[in-house]
Amino acid sequence: MEKQQNAVGRRKEAVARVYISKGTGNITVNDKEYKAYFPIMYLQNQVELPLKVTETSTTFDLVINVQGGGQKGQAEAIKMGIARALVEVNPEYKPLLKKDGLMTRDSRSVERKKFGKRKARRSFQFSKR
């Protein structure tokens, strides 16, 4: 790999742009170290997962721009973006990542609110008298 590659990951309303290049294993999210950006251990593990599966934790530097959604959606968008970027770098990683379900876009999102209801499905409280 001679230059930087990039990929996009999405989850709910979150969109993550991942730029991957040869390096020592630094992960930067929105100009912060990823452990500072995601203080919760579970979310840190989500971000690291594609690198652990392919055993490339110390091979690449990642610069990630993420926007929209909440913390969990952003972490999962980053997870998918990293997986896609790794496949772009080396297509041999695809079966490993696919086996762990990292190449599949999770299409679930928030159901829209319907008129005459309080939320998507929740009705207003019914009073008999």
Q: What is the mean pLDDT of residues 1-10?
A: 83
CB 25 within 8 A of CB 12: no
Residue closest to 67 by CA, chosen among 16, 11, 8, 9: 16
Q: What is the mean pLDDT of residues 110-127?
A: 95
Q: Measured between alpha carbons, how far is 65 from 82 in angstroms, rounded to an integer?
A: 12
Q: Measured between alpha carbons, how far is 20 from 61 in angstroms, rounded to an integer?
A: 6
Band (pLDDT 50/70/90 cuts) for residue 2 is low
Contacts of 68 (CB under 8 A, 6+ apart): 13, 14, 15, 74
